[in-house]
Amino acid sequence: MAMLRHKVTSLDGTVTTPRGFRAAGIHCGIKPEKPDLALIVSDAPAVAAGTFTQIKTRSAPVIINEMKLKAGRAQAVVINSGNANAATGARGFADAGAMTAAVAQALGIGDDLVLGTSTGVIGRPLPIDKITAAAPALVAALGPDGMTAARAMITTDAFTKTAAAEVDLGNAVVKIGGIAKGAGMIHPNMATMIAVITTDAAVELSMLRTAARAAVNKSFNCISVDGDTSTSDSVFVLANGASGGPSITVEDDRYAAFVAGLTDVAGRLARLIVQDGEGTTRLIEITVHGARSDAEARLAGRTVMTSMLVKTMFYGAELNWGRITAAVGRSGADVDPDRLAIAIGDVWVVKNGVGVPAVYAEAEPLLREKEIRVTIDLGLGQGTFTGWTNDLGETYVKINSGYLT
């Protein structure tokens, strides 16, 4: 049987771009003025999967969502911003339950179909009475504009983050849309921030779980702003089948196309998060190749991405490539100094482990660009990794030394 030809087209869109999804965002009083309560709803129960932070101090909503998603079904995701409902003890679990129960009642569906998550300051009890009182108004505000939810879920973000894609599966055209928030406490660890991704594709549960992990590992797990992973990191993927196409399975030749579309949306959201990193002036793409394995390439790349010295080098637009060399050397990946090469853009400033002064003048202007590509060649094998990070300057310190105020 001939293989179907598939095509992924990037779109401007949100969680309501796929058929059968509505969204809302309102102000309920957690923040002084800005929208702080978001809701995404599928018209029918959807197959659902998620990835979550792996740190030990996970928030109550993360733990509850993991339990709910064992059934693999959800119809709504409610998100509050301004308060993380983390490190809040038994009350945190009770408040998380009350939030989803209030939304479920307003929607007229079971609480088991409502996922809830929170983002903001850690350690403060959730003002749950404000949230539950606002649930009817939140549901009444549901409509086709996904930007309302995107605005209500952000905290220190400078802008909203949205993306969408259309995937031609040969016998059906499906859409995928997403919204995300994140600017600080961003570092790869299963899921890094909060994102909701929707699709009108019909997808088997095992396939959706596999696809979600694959997409997250090539997107959200490949970014870092400050090396800090949050208590609330979550990525939700809901597939409601509203496109009417046949269900996709892992054995299906359409699986790769669906994963490509999912990765396209997740990757664009992930890069927007890095671009919006607190105090960021530059987006930096780090590519490592020539490693012994992909795992070793990831080790080297992540170490470079999280090096404070490397990040401040980019902030100052200095060609202090020795900081990259040092980060690679301490990463734990196998490194032969005599084979190491480093490029800024297409300019190889290091070859065979030593600098190439003749090209420095060509490379230095590239460090002042808003987007910078760095390639590191270890010269040892076929392992590769690509990740995204940002520079780090005084503004990050100012934001995070006055976060509570």
Q: Which residues belong to the active site?
A: 192
* CA dist., res. 100 & res. 355, Å (int): 57
User: CB of 181 within 8 A of CB of 40?
Assistant: no
Strands, E assignment, 66-170: 73-83, 114-121, 161-168
Among 339, 304, 298, CA closest to 320 = 304
Q: How far apart are the first and last CA of the chain?
A: 63
Dist CA 359 CA 372 (whole Å): 17
What one-character DSSP code corresponds to residue 132?
H
Tell me how far CA of residue 347 lies from CA of 271, 342, 357, 358, 396, in angstroms. Answer: 23, 8, 11, 11, 30
Burial 227-253 (b: 16+ CB within 10 A, else e): bebbbbbbbbbbbbbbbebeebeeebe
DSSP, residue by residue, 321-373: THHHHHHHHTSSS---TTT-EEEETTEEEEETTEE-GGGHHHHGGGGGSSEEE
The total of other beta-carbon atoms located within 10 Å of residue 284's CB is 22
Nearest Cα residue to 302 out of 371, 227, 213: 227
User: Can you read off the two tokens belonging to residue 78?
Assistant: 């409610």
